[in-house]
Amino acid sequence: MTVTALTATEIRDAVTDGQVSATEVCRAFLDRAQALNPQLNAFTLIDADRALDAAGRVDAQRASGTPLGPLAGVPIALKDNLCVRGMRTTAASRILDTFVPPYTATAVMKLEAAGAIVLGKTNCDEFAMGSSTENSAYGPTKNPWALDRTPGGSSGGSAAAVAAHCAPLALGSDTGGSIRQPGSFCGVVGLKPTYGRVSRYGLLAFASSLDQIGPFSRRVRDAALTLTAIAGSDGADATTVATSVPEFTSALTGDVRGVRVGVPRAFVSEGVDEEVRLAFERALDTLARAGAVIVDIDLPHARAAIPVYYLICTAEASSNLARYDGVKYGFRATLGRTDGLKAMYNRTRDEGFGAEVKRRIMLGTYVLSAGYYDAFYLKAQQVRTLLRRDFDRAFEGADVIAMPTSPIPPFRLGEKTEDPLQMYLADVFTVSANLAGLPGISVPCGFTGAKLPIGLQLMGRMFDEATMLRTADAFERATSWHTESPSL
Amino acid sequence: MSTTLSIADVERIAALAHLELTDAEKTLFTKQLADVLAYAEQVQQIDTTGVPATAQVHGAEGHERADEPVPSLSTADMLANAPDGAPEVGLFRVPRVIGG
């Protein structure tokens, strides 16, 4: 048995049945992560001692006959914007290079309570701003399928770690596609839950009306298992909703007969790479053969989603990132003798933030400033309402919505870094789910001729992850893309 | 409206955002921000007469918790990451404020 080839559910079962100890599992993944990280740069931190301690506790729990949790002994990697008490958390930013959080994110506390073993922190775009993991103060992550390509972003390290079998599970955050797009680029499952489903307490905030935490895995079932563990209302995050949390794995019946899959034909007909388009059409055929009903839908404002998203997320970012001022935590610039407080703020932020973060703070400050607020920010919020209404109408005739996750396969490192607008356009199919608060998932649906992964995106109604997961799982059962792994 | 940006505009925004940009950054951002804003202007073509703004999606009211004391982080924890903390008096130290 190659432990690192097992899925999260298989590991949980093997540990629970005593076929393998949590410590053996933990060592196997730590060894692989440490061996591959020089190539991939997927991890910013691997904390072997802490992980082995936690695994030892699961083994002791089993030895004492105490019932084990639903993720007992399952290693997990955390995007480096999730706080863990005592574990350096940087958001891949120089400004937080030395930050050691005094508290742990709610989602992480829930995972550990379920028996999961935190391996360490994964690389990402700085403060989750980017689509390629190239905006990291610690260098880019490489795509395990092709080391000259990006793993997507911003949660690229988490996606790469799962694809390379360095971890069976990872958490990421998705503000405009930052779980689904790297999931697609790395050939793994990436799940963004409904806005309000998972507490963001302990997630370093980027855009608070859009951010959501979710899992990466190699199977839909593992994503459903993880979502059940991390979901639920939390007094520490007022945006969480007190809706009951179903046992999401029980929704995975394999039966999608009669499920209406809406396809926004006009929206997905333009600007999509030919190999991606063919894989998407084949995926729809697969769903239809499984009994789903493919229906046309219209999302007339979806084309405006990219500008709306970049106006809103930058405005929110400019406010959220005001807290990084060289006073309370992290980096402070070296000052001259005559420099006062304002010089300290301004120089600390210039030296501490990378170029993309500064661009977004500037853009957000501009669209919120007097004279531009109505024309840009308020207008974007109004179009956001129109987009939500598009989805409300579409979901009258459809149970889930299907699109490609990304219009293009994984691109080359450096290919889009000179032109921010080109990088933003790569998010065309993912930002809508965040603007409307909907759940979305990317599942593997093929490869290009050059063996680069392609993802199918499914979106569900708010708080109806169950139907979306059932459809994604049925697709997975009908295909074998998820069984392939990169050769490393 | 058509968005054009000058170096002076970028300097004004940078001052609002508390960013001390280098000359190279000012030049680069002048072009890049103008490109993004020109692209974003397409939202102004959409008729939004009478359409309310969406600031958050699920309409849930902010909920209140009972007004009871709960444990919180210690002063020592909060100061542990400060680049210039003064834990002996429980304060953050900053450079000169007046005239700064």
Per-residue pLDDT tens over the stretch A388-405: 999 999 999 999 999 999
How far apart are alpha carbons A167 and B89 in whole angstroms? 44
Using a 10 angstrom Cβ sphere, with 0-12 exposed, 13-18 middle and 19 or more buried, the burial of residue A102 is: middle
The whole-number average pLDDT for the span A419-441 is: 96
Which of A195, A365, A372, A377 best probes binding to B when mutated, by most B CB atoms within 10 angstroms? A365
How far apart are alpha carbons A191 and A141 in whole angstroms? 20
Pairing, β A117-122 against β A75-79: parallel
pLDDT over 70 (residue A381): yes
- Percent of chain A at pLDDT > 90 equals 97
The whole-number average pLDDT for the span A323-328 is: 96
In 3D space, the residue among B3, B39, B51, B25 whose CA is nearest the CA of residue A309 turns out to be B39
The whole-number average pLDDT for the span A137-162 is: 98
User: What is the pLDDT, as a whole number, of residue B1?
Assistant: 47
B49 Cβ under 8 Å from any chain A Cβ: no
pTM (predicted TM-score): 0.97
Which residues in chain B have their CB less than 8 angstroms from residue A436's CB?
57
Q: Which residue has the tokens 């949660």?
A: A155
Active site residue A154: yes
Asked if A358 lies within 8 A of B29 by C-beta distance, the reply is yes
User: What is the pLDDT, as a whole number, of residue A463?
Assistant: 97
**What residue spans of A296-415 are helical by DSSP H?**
305-320, 341-352, 355-368, 379-397
The whole-number average pLDDT for the span A77-91 is: 98
Residue B2's pLDDT band (cuts 50, 70, 90): low
C-beta atoms surrounding B4 within 10 Å: 10
How far apart are alpha carbons A438 and A435 in whole angstroms? 8
Residue B62's pLDDT band (cuts 50, 70, 90): low
Active site residue A369: no
How far apart are alpha carbons A98 and A332 in whole angstroms? 11
Tens digit of pLDDT for each residue in B34-59? 999 999 999 999 999 999 999 989 87
User: What is the pLDDT, as a whole number, of residue B61?
Assistant: 65
Asked if B36 lies within 8 A of A318 by C-beta distance, the reply is no
User: What is the pLDDT, as a whole number, of residue A239?
Assistant: 92
Which residues in chain B have their CB less than 8 angstroms from residue A369's CB?
13, 16
How far apart are alpha carbons A424 and A372 in whole angstroms? 21
Which residues in chain A have their CB less than 8 angstroms from residue B82's CB?
327-329
How far apart are alpha carbons A106 and A242 in whole angstroms? 15
How far apart are alpha carbons A227 and A483 in whole angstroms? 22
